[in-house]
Every structure is written in structure tokens, then in C-alpha cells.
Chains A and B, each alone.
Chain A
């Protein structure tokens, strides 16, 4: 029975997502809006397909936010995070502080007690990490300076939730509500124990947990990932990735800290690891799906009876909240000298209330800080503001942005969240390592992907940016910076992998120049036929070198051996190109062609014996000069 209802819910959620998201996309709207509207449609006030369990689903789907923060952490190397510390603390701190005070002041002017007003201010100062980041990513704006500023503010907000949750109980003016909110029921023995400890103990434990995550990231996760990667069973790796995130989330929530923050930290620690891209690629679908469910449940949770009862009040709250937040953000954007269009993006994207408002307000009701009715009203307003955000961003993109002259060009700032080496080298075995070493000797940046953990380990030890992963997955290729790279060099030792990688690259990243190691003659024909930019038979270089050395050993003068070898190579290359054109058209023609080229080669060797083998040799043939002189 439980299974059945689970399946029914899953069916309803997935079906709505599958219908609404493509529809939203078709209409040129963002997928976030599609999910939100989908939730609204299946919610209790329209179709009523989901009802009471909506809130539980939302808590479950919040794990999507946790996963998202982990993935964001993975893309932020510690060094980069350190560089962003200014905007995070300055911009983020200012946004939260000013907004909190402003909203608190307004609340008090409407007759709320200062404790309640402050609590509401805290809850509403926060924006929705999930909606903002997902929308920015979808519009490819994360790298713009406005997007970066928004990210910094969101990060600060995620951190700010911790002290807020700690302060909330102190603001209680009402008797704690006897609520059936499961958050209260779920208080386990650890929380219970924690609740009876002095404040410094809890703080100490949080610090201990943070240090544990940092150390474990380096000395525990890394070796475990190593071991599992070596088994080369992909689902085990996926399982391990999920296990890591869930484990950290559990630990953090036990300590009363935002699990998202804990996993973010773990992500940052692992950002320097060779498994970064593999982790990203493995967790991405889970994150996407869960975030979708999260957005649906936000849509479904909007209490329309409340809105219907006091439409004017709710409308005033939503508009007031968004205008106030946007105005404060705009001011901050002006202070930090963002260009006008970036300031617009920055202020409009962060103007909504966020999922943390649900948490804080729910917690506030339970602790007797905020009255139930006020909280319900605010929760409805926040949810509406979240739904409005994608619409506001569309307005920004279609109407506001085109009217301003100060546009930031798309490629002005490099994206620090992605690999940006010009070369991706797929395969670093006995062939690829020569290629890699040569390029590196010229200080050319490259991203190496290899499916052998030992190779990757070794490479990283000597300071080469190498990642473990199955090169054939286009998401991994993307994570390795395929959009930014110029060249993809494929030096795999397996023909099937090589062929499918060529196909993947040509399909998803047509701008990439492809350079390929062919494993044998027919493979070379096939590869050339596929239209790659450069292809060499894996033995073309070394085998002819050996042949040349043999000639020298047999007494041929070195320079002559050199000339003959070059002539041979050139001839060989021409023959391959010609044959490649013919192979696919006609098998018979190919065979006769090979025969013809073989005859051609024989002819060349015959000519060698007549001492006229290459055009260059005629230059040093003195016979004609002698004849001329004798004639005179």
C-alpha cells in the first residue's frame, strides 16, 4: 500500500514535470517556472492530485538543494572561494543586514513587536538559492559579473541561516506552539542532548564538524574514491557519491547546521580532486530531478484559500517584498560599480523570498516566535514571490535589458567555474603521454581525462590537471570544459571508444578540432571519413623511424635515409587519404586501389635503385652538369 501511494505520487510528479517543462520551454520560459506552475496545477487548489504529503515531499526534495550546493562547491576551488571572500562577506553581509533591518522596521511600524519584526526580517532577507542559481544557469548568466555577485550573496545567506536558527528561540514571545510540524517531532537524541548543552558547546561541535569535513575530504574521501574507482563499476561510484553527500547532510543536520552548507564545504574540498568531473556528472541528474520536485512542491504548497481571503494584503506583501529587496540590491550594485544591465540582473534575480523562509518561519511558529497566521501569510507571499521570479527575469531579459546601452559583452569575464584549457586530451596511456608531455613542454594548458585511476593519480602528482572518468559521456566532456576548449585530442587505445567519442564530440561540440590516434589502417580510413581534422596511424611515426634507423645501420648515408623515409611517409599519407575516400563507396574499388598503390610503391622502390627516387635527389645528380660541360 505504501509502495502504491509512493508510485502514484512519483507518477503524478514526473508526469506533470514531463508535460509542463517542455511546454514552458516551448513558450520560451524557464524550466523553473514550468515546475512551479506544474506544482500549482496538481496542488490542492486546482486538480488536488497532491495534498497533505506536499510538505513532506518538499522536505525530501530539499535534498536537491543540498546536492546543488555540493555541485557548486565542486566547481569552486578553495583558491577561488578565497578570492570571492570580499563579495561574499561585504556584499552578502550588507544585503542580509540592511534588508533584515528594513523589513524589521516596516514590521514594527505595522505594530509587530520588535522580536517578531526582527524574526520576519531575517526570514525574508534570504533569497532562493535554488531558483536563482537554476535560472541563472539556464540563461548562461552565472559567469556574468551580476551572476557572480548574486552567487556571492546567496552563499553568504546560506551561512547566515545558521546563526539565525540559533537566535530564533531567544526571540520567542509566545508560548511555543504545540504544532504537528514534523521538524519538532523529529528531534532525535542528539538534538535533545544538544539542546541541553551550553551555547559554546554547540558552536564547538559545529567547528569540529567543519574541520572533520575538510580533513576527511583530503584524507578519507579521496582514498575511498580511489578504491571504488579502481573497481570500475560505475554504479558503485554513483552510490559512493550519493553516500558522501547524504552522510554529510545527516551529520550536519544532527548538529543543527544547514546540510547544504556542509555539503558545499565538502564540495569545495573535493574541487581539487581528480574525481571532480566524475562526481559532477554522476550527481547532476539527481540534482536536476530533485530540484524539479522541490519546485513542484513549492508550487503545490501555495495556500490559495489564504490568498483568496485577503488578496489585497497578499499582493501588497509580495510586491512590497520584491520592490524593497530589489531596491536595496540595486543600491548595493551601484556601490560595487556593477554596470547598469548587470545591476538590473543582480537586483531582480535576488528579489524573492526563499526556501529558508519556509524553514525559519516554520521553526519560528514552533518556537513561539511568530504567530501561525502571520507565518502562513508570509509563507504564501514568499512562495508567490518565488513563482514570480522567473517571470521577472524574463521581463528583465526581453524588455529591460535591450533598452540599456551599457551591456556587458558575453565573453568579457572568463568563467572561473569551468575548466578553460584550450586542449582536452582524452587518454594518457603510452600514446597520449607523449602528446601531453610535448604540449606541456610548451606550457600549453590541458585537461586530461583518463579512465585509469593509477594514471590519473600519477599525473596529478606531477602537477598535470587530470581527471578520472569515462570519456565517452558528453556531460563529462562538458565538465572538462569542452565548450571552451579548441582542440580535443583522442589517444585512446580502444577503437569503439574512439569512434563513439568522435561522434559525441561532433554532435555536441562541433566547434572542437578533433585530432585522433588511429589504431590500424581501416580505422584510419573510417576516422578520416568521419571528417576529423587530423588523424595519424598510431605506428606511422615510430615504425618509419625504425625503418630509417635500419637503413642507416645497413650503410645508407643518414641524410639519404632521411630523404627516403620522408618520401615514403608522404607517399603513404597520400595513399591513405585516397583510400579513405574510396573505402566507403566501393569495397572492390578499395581493394584494387590498394593494389594500385602497392604497385606505385614498388615503382618507387625501383626508382630508388636507379638512384632517382625523389625529386630532391635530382638536384644532387651531377650527370647532367657533366654532360653539359662535355658538350662545350
Chain B
């Protein structure tokens, strides 16, 4: 079975109902390594060698985080900066990640309607994820269609548990 690495970044998980539920729902699934970066590197001092080894051990990568200012939380950006090094992840000699898949699992504060030309964010979420898409592709990985949980502040009760189910099912069947 192909192994999945969830790279999870959330600087204040204690305040996030949705990501806590998602985390609890998937962290113990078989074949899934749940890697909580803010918990591992609270001082932003990322262990590059360890991160690179983890990437090599898994064929499916998931970037799970809330969408902050149309982008990733700061530590996720730091991770991209320091782990995906030239000559290893990209560049003419950087071929080790070739063939892996990357998928973004993202929560947004705004509703789905906000992410269209009539909404106040104007563009669909996919447009804001272009940098991530290109990052994956530059590293010779396939960037899959993202899984997006809209309106996270209102997500509750049954809606939340069905969101968790969706995530679990995806991980178990893909």
C-alpha cells in the first residue's frame, strides 16, 4: 500500500474546531503519517534531513492547513523554503520526488460563494493555490485537485462530521 504523508500546519490548533476534528479523524489511519509541523518545530528550526527522509518514505503528500491571506501559514512556507532544496527537489539534478502526488487539504473562512467573481475574494480558491501547484510541478510531482472545506467558522455538528468522513474516505480509498 502506498503511504501518505500529511504535512499539517496550523499555528493555533487549540482554537480550530475544524482542523482538530480532521486531525482526530485521520491521524491514526493505517498507512498515514500525520506530521504536525507546528508541534514539531515550534521555533521554526526545521530538521531538513528528517523532512527530506520523510518525503522519500511516502509516495502521496498532503498539505493540510487553513488558508491564510490567500496563502499558507508561515511555517509551511518556511518548510517549502528549506526542505525543497535545489539539486534535491528541483533543478537539473533534483529528481528524487518525481512521480509523487501532492494534494492540498484546505479550510477557508469564507464561503464557496465568496470565491467567485461576484464574491469578495473574486477568484476561485484554485487560483490562489497556483504557487503551490507550480511548486509541486517544479519538483516533478503531480498536483491533484485540492479538497476544500469552505466556511470553516460555521462548520459544525453533522456538517463537520461529514467533512471528516469525506477526508477519511479519500485517504482510505485513494
Q: Which residues in window 76-90 of B have CB below 8 A to A?
A: 81-83, 85-87
CB atoms of A618 and B85 under 8 A apart: yes
The answer to whether A628 and B92 touch across the interface, beta carbons within 8 angstroms, is yes
Q: In the complex, which range does the number of interface residues on chain A fall in? A: 10 to 19
Least CB distance, A541 to chain B, in whole angstroms: 13
- In the complex, which of the residues B43, B82, B85 contacts A566, with contact meaning CB atoms closer than 8 Å? B43
Q: CB-CB < 8 A to A615: which residues of B?
A: 47-49, 82
List B residues 81-135 near A (Cβ within 8 Å). Answer: 81-83, 85-87, 91-92
Partner of A563, one of B45, B91, B92: B45
Checking A563, A566, A624 against B86 with a beta-carbon cut-off of 8 angstroms, the contacting residue is: A624
Given A566-B43, A619-B82, A625-B86, also A631-B48 (CB < 8 A): no
| Cα distance, A567 to B85, chains bound together (Å) | 19
Are A628 and B45 neighbours in the complex by a CB distance under 8 Å?
no
- A557 to chain B: closest CB distance in Å? 16
Instruction: Return chain A residues, CB-CB under 8 Å to B92.
Output: 628, 631
**Chain A stretch 582-620: residues in CB contact (< 8 A) with chain B:** 615-616, 618-620
Q: How far is the CB of A63 from chain B (nearest CB, A)?
A: 54
* Cβ B48 vs Cβ A619 within 8 A: yes
User: In the assembly, what is the distance between CA of A631 and CA of B85, in Å?
Assistant: 18
Taken residue by residue from 46 to 83, chain B's Cβ proximity to chain A (1 for < 8 Å, 0 otherwise) reads as 11110000000000000000000000000000000111
Bound Cα distance from A566 to B47, whole angstroms: 11
Contact in complex: A566, B45 (CB < 8 Å): yes
Residue of A nearest to B83 (CB): A619
Interface size on B, residues (CB 8 A): 14
Q: B86, A628: Cβ atoms under 8 Å?
A: yes
Q: Closest chain A residue to B91 by CB distance?
A: A628
Min distance, Cβ A358 to any Cβ of chain B, angstroms: 61
Contact of B85 among A563, A570, A619, A628 (CB under 8 A): A619
Smallest CB–CB gap between B76 and chain A, Å?
14
A616-B82 contact, Cβ under 8 Å, with A563-B45, A566-B43, A566-B45 = yes
Which residues of chain B have C-beta atoms less than 8 A from A563's C-beta?
45
Q: Which residues of B sit under 8 angstroms from A616, Cβ to Cβ?
A: 45-46, 48, 82
A570 to B46, CA, bound (A): 12
CB nearest neighbor in A for B87: A624
Residues of the A chain whose Cβ atoms lie less than 8 Å from the Cβ of B81: 619-620
Residues on the A chain within 8 Å of B46, using CB: 616
**When chains A and B are docked, how far (Å) is the Cα of A616 from the Cα of B41?**
13
Q: Which residue of A lies closest to B84 (CB)?
A: A619
Q: CB distance B91 to A625 under 8 Å?
A: yes
Chain B: CB-nearest residue to A566: B45
Interface centre among A563, A570, A624, A625, by most chain B C-beta atoms within 10 angstroms, is A624
Q: How far is the CA of A619 from the CA of B80 in the complex (A)?
A: 10
The residue among A567, A570, A615 with the most chain B CB atoms within 10 A of its own CB is A615
**Within the complex, what minimum Cβ distance (angstroms) separates A508 from chain B?**
33
Residue ID in chain B nearest A631 by CB atoms:
B92
In the assembled complex, the Cα of A563 lies from the Cα of B48 at a distance in Å of 13
Least Cβ distance of B117 to chain A in Å? 37
How far apart sit A615 and B46, CA to CA, in the bound complex (Å)? Answer: 9
Bound CA span A150–B85, Å: 71
Shortest CB–CB separation between residue B92 and chain A, in angstroms?
6
| A-chain residues with CB within 8 Å of residue B43 when the two chains form the complex | 566
Q: Which residue of A lies closest to B51 (CB)?
A: A615
- Chain B residue with the shortest CB-CB distance to A632: B92
Instruction: Give the residue of A567, A570, A619, A624 whose beta carbon is less than 8 angstroms from that of B91.
Output: A624
Instruction: Find chain B residues with CB under 8 A from A628 CB.
Output: 86-87, 91-92
- Which B residues are CB-close (under 8 A) to A619? 48, 81-83, 85
Question: In the complex, which residue of chain A has the Cβ closest to the Cβ of B81?
Answer: A619
Q: Report the Cα distance A618→B51, complex, angstroms.
A: 14
Q: Which A residues touch B47, using CB under 8 A?
A: 615
Chain B hits for A567, CB < 8 A: 45
Q: Closest CB-CB distance, A617 to chain B, in whole Å? A: 9
Whole-angstrom distance between the Cβ of A568 and the nearest chain B Cβ: 11
Residues 559-579 of A, flagged 1 when their CB comes within 8 A of B and 0 if not, give 000010011001000000000
Shortest CB–CB separation between residue A178 and chain B, in angstroms? 79
Q: Closest CB of chain A to B20's CB: distance in Å?
A: 19
CB neighbours (8 Å) of B85 from chain A are: 618-619
What is the distance, in angstroms, from B80's C-beta to the closest C-beta of chain A?
9
> Chain A residue with minimal CB distance to B92?
A628
Give the distance in Å from the alpha carbon of A616 to the alpha carbon of B81 in the complex.
9
B contact residues around A620 at 8 Å (CB): 81
How far does the alpha carbon of A570 sit from the alpha carbon of B49 in the complex, in Å?
Answer: 14
Among A570, A616, A618, A628, find the residue whose CB has the most chain B CB atoms closer than 10 A: A616
Q: What sequence of 0s and 1s flags, for each residue 26-57 of chain B, a beta carbon within 8 Å of any chain A beta carbon? A: 00000000000000000101111100000000
The complex places the Cα of A235 from the Cα of B48 at a distance, in Å, of: 59
Q: Distance in Å from the Cβ of A442 to the closest Cβ of chain B? A: 12
Shortest CB–CB separation between residue A29 and chain B, in angstroms? 48
Complex-state Cα separation, A566 to B43, whole angstroms:
9
Report the minimal beta-carbon distance from B162 to chain A, rounded to whole angstroms: 35
Q: How far is the CA of A628 from the CA of B48 in the complex (A)?
A: 22
Docked CA distance A567–B46 (Å): 10
Q: In the assembly, what is the distance between CA of A616 and CA of B43, in Å? A: 13
Once the chains are docked, how many angstroms separate the CA of A22 from the CA of B56?
63
Q: How many angstroms from the CA of A620 to the CA of B78 in the assembled complex?
A: 11
Bound-state CA distance A618–B47 (Å) is 12
Question: How many Å from the CB of A552 to the closest CB on chain B?
Answer: 17
* Shortest distance between the CB of B32 and any CB in chain A (Å): 26
For the complex, give the distance between the alpha carbons of A628 and B86 in Å: 9
Separation in Å of the A536 CB from the closest CB of chain B?
A: 15
Q: Which residues of B contact A631 (CB under 8 A)?
A: 92
B52 (CB) vs chain A CBs: closest residue: A615
The 21 listed contacts between A and B (C-beta, < 8 Å) are A563-B45, A566-B43, A567-B45, A570-B45, A615-B48, A616-B48, A616-B82, A618-B48, A618-B85, A619-B81, A619-B82, A619-B83, A624-B86, A624-B87, A624-B91, A625-B86, A625-B91, A628-B86, A628-B87, A628-B91, A628-B92
A-B pairs with lowest CB-CB distance, top 10: A615-B48, A619-B82, A566-B45, A624-B87, A624-B86, A616-B82, A628-B91, A625-B86, A619-B85, A628-B92
Give the B-binding residues of A (Cβ under 8 A).
Answer: 563, 566-567, 570, 615-616, 618-620, 624-625, 628, 631
The residues of B with any CB-CB pair to A shorter than 8 Å are 43, 45-49, 81-83, 85-87, 91-92
Q: Given A615-B49, A619-B82, A628-B92, 7 other A-B contacts at CB below 8 A?
A: A567-B45, A616-B46, A616-B82, A618-B48, A619-B83, A624-B86, A624-B87
